[in-house]
A and B are shown apart, each in its own frame.
Chain A
C-alpha cells in the first residue's frame, strides 16, 4: 500500500500541471511586463478586429435606484449604463465584467467585445462593481470590495439586462471578466450555481487576482518606486512633463498615437521601469480615490465629506478629491471595507476577510468544474509568489499560463484570442 501511495504522491504534481505555454512557442513581442501592461499588444502583432461602425451596438441604462437616493453632485451617475452588441438572430451571449475601477466602455472591454462579437456572440459590457457608476447606481452597500456581495449586485444587474431585452434570442449565457472582473466572474458563476436564474454555461477568468490582498498591496507598492530626479522642487509628474516637452520639441510637432509613444519610449527621454510602475500605480490610485470618495459620501461616513455637507452640482469638489487621494487600497480596506463588513457580516480579522473575498473561498466550486477556466501571465504584476501554484493545483489543465503579457496586455495577440474563443467553442 505504501509504495503505491508514494507513487501517487509523486505523480500528483504532474497531474496538477496547467497548460504552460513555453517561451519559445510564444512570440508576443513585448518582453517588458510594465510596457505590456500600459500599451497592450502592438498593432502590427495584433489580430484584426471589426471597426466600431460595423458593430450593431447601443448603450442602455438601468435605473436601479431612485434619483432621490443619490446626492445632486452625482448628476452624471444616476443610472447604470451598459453596452449591448447584438447579432442578427439566435446567438450565444457573453457578459464581460470590467477590471478595477473600469467602466463598461473601457479599452479592454471594447477589445474583448470586438473579439467575441466577430466570433458571433451577443456581447454585454458591464462596469466593474468598483467603478464609480456602479457604486453610485447599482451597488446596494456602496462599499465595493466584498466579492460575494459585489457578485450579488452584478447578478441582479445581469438579470435586469436580460429582462431589458426580451426579444434578444439567446442560445446560452456565458461570462468573462478580466483582472478584478475575473474574480467577480468566478463569484457570479458560483452564485448562479445556487440560484439558477441565468444558467451560465461557461465562465472565463482573465488575469484574476488569486489573493486579493496580495494584488492590492502590489498595486499600492507601485507608487513607492525610486524615481530619479525627484526633489523638493520637482515631483515625478513635473519630470514626466519636462521629458514629454523635450521629446516633442525634438520631434518638431505634437502628436499622440501608438507609434509616437513607442518612439518616445525608445528616445533618450523614455521612462525607466520604476517610472512605468509609478504610472501604473498612479492610475490605480486615482481609481481608489474615486472609490474612497463615493463610498464615503453615499454611506455618510464623514471620512472625506463631512456628514450632511450640502453638495450641489456646482460645489467645489477639489478639497474632497485631494483628501481622497491620500487614501490607498490598504487605507480603504482599513477605514471603510472592514468596519462595514464587521457590522454587516459579523466579520472578524483581515485575514479572515481576505479568505472570503479571494479565490480561496471558491475552491470547491472551481475544482473539477470543466465549465470554468483561467488564463494568466507569468509576469503579471498583480500576482505574488505561490499564486500561480494555487491556480495550477485547483484548475489543472484549465489554467493556461503565458510566459509574457504583463497585466492584461496580450488579449489582442492571436494566440490568446484563439485560446479565449476556443474555450467557449462547443
Chain B
C-alpha cells in the first residue's frame, strides 16, 4: 500500500503526542489490587439517560432510500456475483500475476484516472490541487513509463480523487435517492449520473488511446475490473450483521459527504 513514509515512522511517538494533546490521561491512584479505575476519569451526563447515542444513530441512519426493495435485490445479486464470479476471478488474477506486474496494472489505471481527477478538480476551481494532479500526470506518464510506475507519490505528490459526483456535490447538488448499482455497488442518483459523465469524458479524451483499445479488445476492460476489485478491501458478510445493507448505506453516505467537502 502507499503509505507516506514521513508519517509511517514513529507512530507510537505520535500516539504519545496524541494522548498528550487532545486526550490527556492521568491514571488515578491504583486500588490495592492494582485496578486503576479508568471510567472514574470520565465526565458523565448528570441525568440518568440522555439518549444521545440513540438520537445520533437514528438521525445518521435516516437516508433517503425510496427504492429500497429493488436496491436490496441488486445488493443480494451483487453479493452472489462477488462470491461466485468476481472474487474467484480476482484470486485467479492475483495468483497468475507477479506482485510487481499487479502493482504496474494498478498504477497504470490509476494514472488514467488522474485525467478525470484533474478535470473535476479544475471544475471545482481547486487551483493547487489541479496543479498537483497535473504534476502527477506529467511525472507518471513520462518518468513512470505511461503510468506503470508511480514516482510522483514517492516525490510527495499524493493521489487525489475527484469525480463528477463530487463536482456536482461541491456546487450544492443534493445526493438524491440511494441506489445500489449492479456490480458497481452503493451509489445515489447524483453519483451514478456522475459516474456516467466521467465514463463519457474518459471515452472522449481517449488518453493513451486506452478507450479506443478497450472497445476493440474487451480484455482490457476485464483486467481493469479485476484490478478495481482487487484494490477494494470490502468483502460481503464482513460487517457480520443482519443490518449490513443499512450499515454500508450509512458509511457510503458519510464518506461521500467528507469527500465532497474536501
Contacts and interface: CB of A to CB of B under 8 A. Distances in A.
A31 B23 contact: no
A245 B8 contact: no
Contacts of A132: 240-242
A274 B39 CA distance: 10
A44 B11 contact: yes
A245 B260 CA distance: 9
A322 B35 CA distance: 37
Nearest to B20: A266
A262 B11 contact: yes
A29 B246 contact: no
27 contacts: A32-B19, A32-B23, A32-B25, A44-B12, A73-B242, A76-B79, A105-B238, A106-B240, A218-B39, A235-B60, A245-B258, A249-B261, A252-B158, A257-B1, A268-B22, A270-B23, A273-B23, A277-B39, A281-B53, A282-B57, A315-B72, A325-B58, A379-B38, A381-B39, A388-B34, A392-B33, A401-B34
A43 B7 CA distance: 12
A389 interface: yes
Nearest to B14: A262
A25 interface: no
Contacts of B242: 73-74, 77, 132, 136, 290, 293-294, 317
A263 B244 CA distance: 30
Given A132-B240, A272-B23, A388 B35 contact: yes
Interface in B12-47: 12-23, 25, 27, 30-39, 41-45
A86 interface: no
A241 B254 contact: yes
Contacts of B50: 224
Interface of A: 20, 29-35, 39, 42-45, 73-77, 101-103, 105-106, 127, 131-133, 136, 218, 221-227, 230, 235-238, 241, 244-245, 248-249, 252-255, 257-260, 262-263, 265-274, 276-278, 281-282, 285-286, 289-290, 293-294, 313-318, 321-322, 325-326, 378-381, 383, 385-389, 392, 401, 403, 406
Contacts of B53: 223, 236, 278, 281-282, 285
Given A44-B10, A253-B262, A318 B61 contact: yes
B-side interface size class: 35 or more
B57 A42 contact: no
Nearest to A321: B243
Contacts of B37: 385
Given A266-B14, A318-B246, 18 more contacts: A30-B12, A30-B16, A32-B23, A34-B23, A221-B44, A225-B42, A236-B52, A236-B56, A245-B262, A258-B11, A259-B3, A265-B15, A272-B23, A285-B57, A313-B72, A322-B61, A325-B58, A378-B36
Contact of A290 (B33, B42, B241, B257): B241
Contact of B43 (A106, A255, A274, A326): A274
B98 interface: no
Contacts of B31: 385-386, 388-389
Interface string B225-244: 00000000000111011111
Nearest to A244: B258
Nearest to A248: B262
A259 B8 contact: yes
Chain A CB within 10 A, most for which of B42, B49, B54, B128: B42
Main secondary structure on chain B at its contact with chain A? Answer: helix
A76 B244 contact: yes
Given A29-B15, A265-B18, A388 B33 contact: yes
Nearest to B132: A252
Contacts of A45: 12
Chain A CB within 10 A, most for which of B3, B49, B236, B261: B261
B18 A254 contact: no
B172 interface: no
Contacts of A136: 242
Interface string B138-175: 00000000000000000000111100000000000000
Contacts of A290: 240-243
Given A314-B73, A379-B36, A383-B35, A42 B15 contact: yes
B21 A266 contact: yes
A262 B16 CA distance: 9
Nearest to A29: B12
Nearest to B1: A257
Contacts of B25: 31-34, 273
Contacts of B93: none
B86 interface: no
B68 interface: yes
A76 B12 CA distance: 39
Nearest to A133: B240
B212 interface: no
B193 to A, nearest CB: 22
A263 B6 CA distance: 12
Contacts of B41: 273
B68 to A, nearest CB: 5
B184 interface: no
Nearest to B54: A326
Contacts of A230: 52
B54 A31 contact: no
Contacts of B100: none
Contact of A35 (B19, B65, B259): B19
A253 B238 contact: no
Contacts of A226: 43-45
A385 B35 contact: yes
B245 interface: yes
Nearest to A256: B255
Nearest to A326: B54
